Structure 1
Amino acid sequence: MSPTILLCFLIGYFAVLIIIAFATSKNSSDNATFFLANKNSKWYLVAFGMIGTALSGVTFISVPGEVGAPSGNQFQYFQFVLGNAVGFIIIATVLLPLYYRMNLTSIYSYIEQRLGHYSYKTAASIFLLSRTLGSATRLYLVVIVLQRFIFDSYGIPFWATVLISLGLIWSYTFKGGLKTIIITDTLQTFFLVLSVFLTIYFVCDSLSLSIPQAFETIKNSSYSKIFFLDDFVTNKFYFSKQFIGGIFVTIAMTGLDQDLMQKNLSMKTIGEAKKNMFTFTGIFVVLNIFFLSVGALLYVFATKNGIEIPLDQVTGKPRTDFLFPEIALNHLTTIPAIVFMLGLTAATFATTDSALTALTTSFCVDFLGMSKKENLEKTDAVKKRHLVHIGFSVLMFLVILVINALNSSSVVTLIFQIASYTYGPLLGLYSFGLFVRNRGLHDKLVPAICIIAPFLCFLLATYSKELLGGYVFSVELILVNGLITFVGLLLISKKTDQQTKF
């Protein structure tokens, strides 16, 4: 596939997004529009657009790649997805009503009202750290693909590719914020879903299989095992580990995350927000089945055509993240290659643009105090918001450079490792706020607890085989992290007669 054709496609793609951005923010560039789209979003647009935000390029590339990984992953990821679905339902029925009842702009304002000032700043800081690392990791994945298959041909260095990508995202998000994001994410999700189905069609066509024959081939292949129910202690893919981990990762990474909750809070009523979450959950589960099916078909195609898993240029080891782009861009025709780039670009940039908006919102509201109406409408507040938006773009740029220097593993694995350590304290904070009554918290000690808990989790995960009879942690580590935080908060609290409001 010619790098020039792919580059022209990218230029055209972003031209469309920039046009949409200017059209949606033409007469509305104030902070109220940027933060919550004036609470006038349509639930069906948000539900569909959230798919692109939640899935990202990681799901598009890493999940299919992991299906045939040497560790024998197969369809085990679907166990995690089932846990995700339960987590989404808990968010819709427990957290969203709370956020709407309190009329929040930043969801971390709940922690301030319930636990105190230092707890609030700690929760907001955890989000800023977690989302910056997670979104940078997701963007890193698409950048290394762009670098390998487009920009290397022009001698453009990796850092410049990262800078170009972030500059393009900033160009269509800095003015309209969430109002623009809801429209662009809806369009990008459409491209993502279309590319998944077209990819299945093109690979099936190359294998001379009808769609029913393809799914029969997947069923009979060595890649289709979903439930892993043997060896609970040492098997990190064991069903309960993945399912329970999926529930709590979802609650933390979605329900306690300003990014995805900001979209829910942009709707007029809690009823619309719930409809959004339930619809989103159904689409999310079904689409992940298709992503896993794409992975199985890619490995069937690779085996038939003698294609090896591409090697990482730094480590020289096979890297499953590269299998999908390798087949799409080098072993299929021009149209499938463009379809692949369409899906990858849509998935990854839908996640990153949303994250930049949420990071800007959280910092402006939680640290600069822009939640009050009089502060939202000040001219200098808009200027400050622009500077914050640029600041997080630069920060993400630096984080991606560090990730590129250090990481050589599957990106999907890296993202959930980051989530287990960074989002765990948020689980503990919100659990304490929701379920502990009539206990006063030593607020100034909360930051220390939220640092100690991930550190203890790291030690536990590192030495779990020795300490726990060979037990190997997977994504359920986030629950342990939350529990350690929760216990730590209990230890620095004392009984009080004051009644809890929320």
Structure 2
Amino acid sequence: MSPALLFCILIAYFALLLGVAWLTSRKADNDSFFIGNKSSNWMLVAFGMVGTTLSGVTFVSVPGAVGRDGFGYLQVLIGYVIGYIAVVYLLLPLYYRMKLTSIYHYLDVRLGRRAYQSGAGFFILSRLFGATARLYLVVAVLQSIILDSLGVPFWLTTFVILGMILLYTYQGGVKTIVWTDTLQTTCMLFGLFACAWFLLGELDLSIPQALGRMQESGLAHVFTTDVDAPGFWLKQIVAGAFITITMTGLDQEMMQKTISVKTLGDSQKNLLSLTAVLVVVLSAFLFLGGLLYLYAPLAGVTATGDRIFPAVVMGHLPAAVQIVFLIALISALFPSADGAITALTSTFCIDILGIKRRADLSEAGQVRLRRHVHLAFAFLFLVMVMVFKWLDDPSMIGVVLKVAGYTYGPLLGLFAFGMATKRALNDRLVPFVTIGAPILCALLEHYQSYLLGSYRLGLELLIVNGALVFAGLFAISRRAGASPAPVAA
């Protein structure tokens, strides 16, 4: 298919997003941008969050990883379900009881200002690295299938896409994103199931027959029983639960949309519905991956990992399927990037700059400051995407989960300490603990062959990081009501 035609489809899709943004952002204010005026429909939020949770990394990397890991990702998915249940019944009631706009305000109330700013700072790092890794992957695919042939440089593609995202989030924020994410999730899921259905037809297989072929080819194994392996089933399930607790329940982007729903009950229904849909959708992505690896040898495709899905579709499937794939890919791109930029803007303005506490700023001044921060984060996204292009890792889902282990671990430790103990902190020492724990984890991972023998760290690094933060906080804490120990100036 002509790259020029595909480019026109991309522009038309963006025009549709702009139309939705215009309709939803009229009369929007700062409360609309930050929490959607607390009036979002829980069903729309739940469905739209599917796209945010999955992103372009899931769309390309999860099917691509089947060739290496089989259906091993199902181990993590079991953990996800446990994690979502914990978020629904432990964290959401806390957030609604405290009427939070930023979930990190809990840390301010419970542990002090330094803990609050440390939590917000690590969220900013987490989302900045994670969202730009996801954005890089999809931009790289668009570049290879459309824009390289048109002579458009990679940096310009990234710049234009970020400009598009700014245009439709600049005014409405969460109020707009709830609707645009719903549209984009619909397109992404249609693309997933359409591609799977077409490949089944090309292979002339029913679903049970396809699963049988995958089993014969070694593509459908699920559980890893080697205790020392990074993919050992128990480690994957436990790590999956904590990944969800941190990357959803302790993540301002995900919770910003969830707490934009008016009542706690509806918000809980939102996340439980999201959990059920994710189980079906992630299982479908793994099934699609198996189909791709069954089809690739027949078509002479040698690509693997993140590159197999676009290589099969754009090189060997009909034009109609290519269009569906392109729209689904773009739909997977935008939800992860638009929500991240909006959430980072909210966190920086509310938690770092204290925009709601500043009496010197009028409403117009707050809006002006928020827009400047929004533009600054878009620029940072551009820089980080170019860094990931330089690194060019073949499997970006591994990068995203590795970054999460280092940056969400301090959040896990902070919230766990606040909720599980009643001890008071020496607030001045909190940043040393939250920065020191990831450094210790990096040293542990680097020297694990000497320290741990044949055992290899995997996703459980997140839990180790959180446990180190918890232990460090306990060491600098005192019983509630006890006099603080003197600290040298």
Q: TM-score, normalised by structure 1?
A: 0.94
Matched, 1:396 2:381: yes
Amino acid at match of 2:202: S
Deviation of 1:104 after TM superposition, in Å, equals: 0.3
Map of 1:16-95 to 2, 5 A cutoff? 16-26=16-26, 28-69=27-68, 73-95=69-91
Q: Which amino acid aligns with 2:185?
A: T
SS of the residue 2:221 aligns to: coil
- Distance, in Å, in 1 between the alignment partners of 2:360 and 2:196 is 50
- Equivalent position amino acid for 1:57 in 2: G
Q: How far apart are 1:375 and its partner, in Å?
A: 8.6
Structure 2 partner of 1:283: 277
> Is the 8 Å Cα contact of residues 31 and 377 (structure 1) preserved in structure 2?
no
2:267 alignment partner, SS class: helix
SS in 2 for 1:267: coil
Alpha-carbon distance in 2 for matches of 1:338, 1:474: 37
* Matched-pair contact (CA < 8 Å) for 2:107–2:418: yes
The aligned amino acid for 1:32 is D
Total equivalences in the alignment: 483
Measured in 2, the distance between the counterparts of 1:282 and 1:424 equals 26
Structure 1 residue 403, shift from structure 2 partner: 1.3
User: Which of 457, 461, 466 pairs up with 1:473?
Assistant: 457
Matches within 5 A, 1:88-487: 88-229=84-225, 231-233=226-228, 235-309=229-303, 320-371=305-356, 378-437=363-422, 439-487=423-471
Q: Distance in 1 between matches of 2:178 and 2:81?
A: 22
Q: 2: CA distance between counterparts of 1:147 and 1:31?
A: 35
Q: 1:376 to 1:209 in 2, by over 3 A?
A: farther
Partners of 2:205 and 2:473 in 1: CA distance: 57
Change (3 A) 1:104 1:375: farther
Q: Is the 1:375–1:381 Cα contact (8 Å) retained in structure 2?
A: no
**1:201–1:211 CA contact under 8 A, matched in 2:** no
Partner letter of residue 298 of structure 1? L
Per the alignment, in what secondary structure is the counterpart of residue 67 of structure 1?
Answer: helix
Mapped partners of 1:373, 1:443: distance in 2 = 22
In the TM superposition, residue 376 of structure 1 has moved relative to its aligned partner by 9.1
Unaligned runs of 5+ in 2: 484-489
Offset of 1:38 from its aligned partner? 0.6
CA distance in 1, matches of 2:393, 2:57: 14
Letter paired with 2:374:
H
How far does the alpha carbon of each residue in 1:445-498 deviate from its partner, in whole angstroms, 9 at most, with x for none? 111111110011011112212211211011111000000011011111122327
Q: 1:103 to 1:373 in 2, by over 3 A?
A: farther
Deviation at 1:85, TM superposition (A): 1.0
User: Which is further off, 291-300 or 486-495?
Assistant: 486-495
Distance 1:133 1:475, change over 3 A: same
Identity %: 46
Aligned partners of 2:410 and 2:466 also within 8 Å: yes
- What is the distance in 2 between the residues matched to 1:92 and 1:371? 28
CA distance in 2, matches of 1:407, 1:112: 39
Instruction: Give unpaired runs (5+ residues) of structure 1.
Output: 310-318
8 Å contact 2:211–2:220 — kept in the other structure? Answer: no
| Alpha-carbon displacement from aligned partner over 1:304-343 (angstroms, at most 9, x marks no partner) | 222101xxxxxxxxx5111100111111010111111111
| Alignment-mate amino acid for residue 380 of structure 1 | G
Q: Distance in 2 between matches of 1:78 and 1:167?
A: 36
Q: Deviations over 1:289-317 (max 9, x none)?
A: 000000000000002222101xxxxxxxx
Q: What CA distance in whole angstroms lies between the structure 2 residues aligned with 1:217 and 1:118? A: 55
Match of 1:313 in 2: none
CA contact 1:32–1:376 (8 Å) conserved in 2: no
| Distance in structure 2 (CA, Å) of the matches to 1:97 and 1:149 | 46
CA positional deviation for 1:99: 0.4
- Tell me the distance in 2 between the aligned counterparts of 1:19 and 1:154: 27
CA–CA separation in structure 1 for the residues paired with 2:126 and 2:361: 26
Partner of 2:9: 9
CA distance in 1 between counterparts of 2:231 and 2:205 reads 31
RMSD of equivalent CA atoms: 1.6
Contact 1:369/1:375 (CA < 8 Å) preserved in 2? Answer: no
**Alpha carbons 2:75, 2:237 under 8 Å: kept:** yes
Aligned 8 A contact 1:453 1:481 in 2:
yes
CA gap 1:106/1:398 in 2 versus in 1, 3 angstroms:
same
Q: Would you say the 8 A contact 1:241–1:476 is kept in 2? A: yes
Indicate if the aligned counterparts of 1:52 and 1:347 stay in contact, CA closer than 8 A. yes
Report the Cα distance in structure 2 between the residues aligned to 1:455 and 1:498, rounded to whole angstroms.
Answer: 31
Query: 1:337–1:375: structure 2 CA closer, same or farther, 3 Å change rule?
Result: farther
The more displaced of 372-381 and 9-18 is 372-381
Q: Which residue of 1 aligns with 2:486?
A: none
**Is contact 2:24–2:175 with CA below 8 Å preserved after alignment?**
yes
**Is the 8 Å Cα contact of residues 299 and 316 (structure 2) preserved in structure 1?**
no
The residue type paired with residue 386 of structure 1 is R
Supply the distance in 2 between the matched residues of 1:414 and 1:273 (Cα, whole angstroms). Answer: 30
Q: Following the alignment from structure 1 to structure 2, what is the Cα–Cα distance between the partners of residues 142 and 86?
A: 29
For 1:212 and 1:416, the matched residues in 2 are separated by: 31
Which residue pairs with 1:494 in the alignment? 478
Structure 1 pair 488–368 and aligned structure 2 pair: CA distance change class (3 A): same
Letter in 2 for 1:191: C
Q: Is the 8 A contact 1:49 1:185 kept in 2?
A: yes
Q: Does the 8 A contact of 2:63 with 2:288 survive in 1?
A: yes
SS at match of 1:154: coil
- Corresponding residue SS for 2:148: helix
